[in-house]
C-alpha cells in the first residue's frame, strides 16, 4: 500500500523549501524592523475559541474548520486563522498587565477545508501581525506599511491595496438595519448561505462568491454613507498617512472581511497573476475581539498574508541548499577512518561539509561534489594520510594544494 498526502495539503522538499525559508526570513526581518516579536501558538485550539473569535455565521466556522473530539471528549479544532489564538495567548499570558501595547507576529500553518484549487489549499501558511492596545490610526498605517514592505521585499509587484472602514458600534447598527431591510426584500433571490447571513451578519453577503448574489449586492448602499464623524476622521487619517508614505491605495466600500469583530479599517491586497484566488493578504481593526475573548477592553489591528500565494507570484532566487559547501573525498580504509573526525572538526569550525557514506572511487566522489556544487573538495588518500595532509582542490580554478590537517579549516574558509 502506498500513501499520498491529504487532499489540499502539500509537502515541501528541497529546493522549494529553500525558497520558503527565504520568504520566512524576509518576514522575520521586516517584522523585527517594525518592532514585532514572534508568538508561536499551538496548532490545535478549543473549537469554541474560533466560534467566538471568528463568528458563528462565518464560512470558516460554518463549514471549513477541521474539528474533532479528542479521547477526553474535548472539542478541538485545527486553527483556521491566527488572530484568535494570538489574542487568546495575549490574554492568557497577562501581557496587558505589564505593557499596554503588544506587537506580535506569527508564521505557521492554518487549516480550512475549502475546495482546493490554484492558490487555495486545505493547509496553507500565513505570516501575520497583530498590534494589540493601540486605537490610533498610526497603528493601522504602520501595519499596512509593514505588509506592503514585506510583499515588496519578497519581490511582488503589481499589487492593489484596497481599503475601507466598516464603521463602529455607533454608526454601523443604523447601516446594518437598512441593509437588512433591503436584503429582506430580495431574500428569495439570494443563495441559501446569504439568506442566513442576511439575518445573522448581513455584512457577510459582500464576501459571497455566488455570481447572482454579487450582482444583487451591487445596488445596495455602502457603509461609507453611514460613517460617524469619528470613523470618518479615523479613515481620513489612515489615508493621509498612507499618502505620506506613498503607499498607493483605493477605497473599496464593499470590503467586509470575514471576521465579526472587525471595526473601522479593513483592507485587502490583491495581485495580478493569481486567477480567482487573487487576494494575497488582508486585515483590519478588531477593537471588540480582545474583550469578546475574555480579556480587557483593548483595541487591535493586524493582517495575514498567505505564503503559498506569495510564492506562486515571486521568483525568489533559489540558492543552493547549503551555500559555501565543501566536499570531503576520502579514499581507502585508513583515510576514511580518519575522515569522519576531521569532517566533524571542520563542521565545528562552521564549515558546511558533505562526504560520501560509501567507499566509492575518487572519480565518482568528485562527480557527486560537482553535482552538489561544492566550491572546494578535500581529497584524502592513503599517501596523504601518511603525511597527515590533505589535498584541497578549488573546483573553479582546478588548483590543488597540500594542506596539513591542522590547517584545513583555515584553508577551506580562505577566499
Ligand atoms: P484570511 O485569513 O481569510 O483573511 O486570509 C488571509 C490570506 O491568507 C489570504 O489573502 C490568502 O493569501 C491566504 N489564504 C486564505 N485562505 C487560504 C487557502 N485556503 N489557501 C491558501 N491561502 C489562503
**Digit-coded pLDDT (tens) for 148-165:** 999 999 999 889 999 999
Cα(26)–Cα(37) distance, integer angstroms: 14
Report, as an integer, the average pLDDT of 6-30: 94
Atom of ligand 1 nearest to the CA of 80: 2
Atom of ligand 1 nearest to the CA of 304: 6
Cα(53)–Cα(170) distance, integer angstroms: 21
Residue of 286, 306, 307 to mutate, ligand 1, most atoms within 8 A of C-beta = 306
Nearest CA to ligand 1 atom 14: 306
Q: What are phi and psi of 353, to 5 degrees?
A: -115, 140
On the question of pLDDT at 24 being above 90, the answer is: yes
Ligand 1 pocket (Cβ < 6 Å) reads 81, 112, 114, 119-121, 124, 126, 258, 279-282, 304-306, 308-309
**What is the pLDDT, as a whole number, of residue 319?**
60
**Digit-coded pLDDT (tens) for 211-267:** 888 888 888 899 999 999 999 999 999 999 999 999 999 999 988 876 667 899 999
| pTM of the predicted model over 0.85 | yes
Segments of 176-299 assigned E as strands: 250-251, 263-271, 279-285
Q: Output the CA 121–ligand 1 centroid distance in Å.
A: 9
Query: CB neighbours (10 Å) of residue 415?
Result: 4
Nearest CA to ligand 1 atom 16: 120
Instruction: Identify the CA nearest to 148 among candidates 253, 35, 30.
Output: 30
Higher-scoring residue by pLDDT: 77, 169: 77
| HSE (side-chain half, CA atoms, 13 Å) at 359 | 9
Nearest CA to ligand 1 atom 20: 120
**Residue 319 parent element (H or E):** none
**Digit-coded pLDDT (tens) for 99-150:** 999 999 999 999 999 999 999 999 999 999 999 999 999 999 999 999 999 9
Cβ-Cβ contacts under 8 Å for 141 (sequence gap 6 or more): 237, 238, 241, 242, 245
Cα(298)–Cα(290) distance, integer angstroms: 6
Amino acid at each position: 500500500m502506498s500513501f499520498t498526502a491529504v487532499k489540499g495539503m502539500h509537502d515541501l522538499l528541497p529546493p522549494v523549501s529553500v525558497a520558503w525559508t527565504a520568504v520566512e526570513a524576509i518576514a522575520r526581518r521586516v517584522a523585527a524592523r517594525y518592532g514585532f516579536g514572534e508568538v508561536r501558538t499551538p496548532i490545535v485550539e478549543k473549537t469554541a475559541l474560533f466560534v467566538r473569535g471568528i463568528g458563528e455565521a462565518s464560512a470558516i466556522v460554518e463549514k471549513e474548520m477541521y474539528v474533532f473530539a479528542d479521547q477526553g471528549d474535548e472539542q478541538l479544532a485545527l486553527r483556521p486563522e491566527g488572530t484568535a489564538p494570538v489574542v487568546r495567548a495575549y490574554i492568557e499570558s497577562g501581557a496587558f498587565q505589564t505593557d499596554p501595547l503588544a506587537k506580535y507576529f506569527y508564521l505557521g500553518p492554518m487549516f480550512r477545508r475549502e475546495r482546493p484549487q490554484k492558490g487555495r489549499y486545505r493547509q496553507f501558511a500565513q505570516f501575520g501581525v497583530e498590534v494589540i492596545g493601540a486605537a490610533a490610526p498610526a497603528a493601522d498605517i504602520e501595519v499596512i506599511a509593514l505588509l506592503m514592505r514585506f510583499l515588496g521585499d519578497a519581490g511582488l509587484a503589481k499589487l492593489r491595496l484596497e481599503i475601507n472602514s466598516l464603521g463602529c458600534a455607533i454608526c454601523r447598527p443604523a447601516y446594518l438595519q437598512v441593509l437588512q431591510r433591503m436584503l429582506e426584500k430580495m431574500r428569495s433571490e439570494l443563495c441559501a448561505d446569504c439568506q442566513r447571513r442576511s439575518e445573522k451578519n448581513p455584512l457577510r453577503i459582500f464576501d459571497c462568491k455566488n455570481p447572482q448574489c454579487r450582482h444583487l449586492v451591487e445596488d445596495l448602499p455602502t457603509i461609507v454613507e453611514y460613517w460617524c464623524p469619528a470613523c470618518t476622521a479615523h479613515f481620513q487619517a489612515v489615508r493621509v498617512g498612507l499618502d505620506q508614505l506613498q503607499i498607493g491605495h483605493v477605497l473599496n466600500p464593499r470590503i467586509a472581511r470575514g471576521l465579526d469583530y472587525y471595526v473601522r479599517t479593513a483592507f485587502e491586497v490583491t495581485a495580478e497573476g493569481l486567477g480567482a484566488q487573487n487576494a494575497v493578504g488582508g486585515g483590519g481593526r478588531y477593537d471588540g475581539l480582545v474583550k469578546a475573548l475574555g480579556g480587557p477592553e483593548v483595541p487591535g489591528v493586524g493582517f495575514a498574508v498567505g505564503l503559498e500565494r506569495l510564492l506562486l507570484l515571486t521568483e525568489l532566487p533559489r540558492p543552493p541548499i547549503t551555500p559555501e559547501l565543501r566536499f570531503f573525498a576520502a579514499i581507502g580504509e585508513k583515510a576514511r577512518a580518519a575522515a569522519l573526525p576531521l569532517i566533524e572538526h571542520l563542521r565545528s569550525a562552521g564549515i558546511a561539509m558533505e562526504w560520501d557514506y560509501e567507499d566509492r572511487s575518487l572519480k565518482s566522489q568528485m562527480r557527486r561534489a560537482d553535482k552538489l556544487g561544492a566550491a572546494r573538495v578535500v581529497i584524502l588518500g592513503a599517501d596523504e594520510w601518511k603525511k597527515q595532509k590533505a589535498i584541497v582542490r578549488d573546483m573553479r580554478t582546478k588548483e590543488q594544494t597540500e594542506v596539513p590537517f591542522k590547517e584545513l579549516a583555515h584553508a577551506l574558509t580562505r577566499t
